[in-house]
Amino acid sequence: MEIKREFRNELLGRKEMRLVLNSDSNPGFQEAIKHVVKKLNVEEDRIVINNVINRFGSSSFLIDFFVYDSVSHKNKIEPKKKLNKEAKVAA
Residue 71 has pLDDT above 60, yes or no: yes
Distance CA 34, CA 37 (A): 5
pLDDT band at residue 68, thresholds of 50, 70 and 90?
A: very high
Position 2, amino acid: E
pTM above 0.75, yes or no: yes
Q: What is the tens place of the pLDDT at every residue in 9-66?
A: 999 999 999 999 888 888 888 988 898 899 889 999 999 999 998 888 888 899 999 9
Position 12, amino acid: L
What's the Cα-to-Cα distance from 60 to each of 10, 55, 65, rounded to whole Å?
Answer: 30, 8, 16
Q: Which residues contact 60 (CB under 8 A, 6 or more apart)?
A: 20, 21, 22, 54
Distance CA 5, CA 62 (A): 11
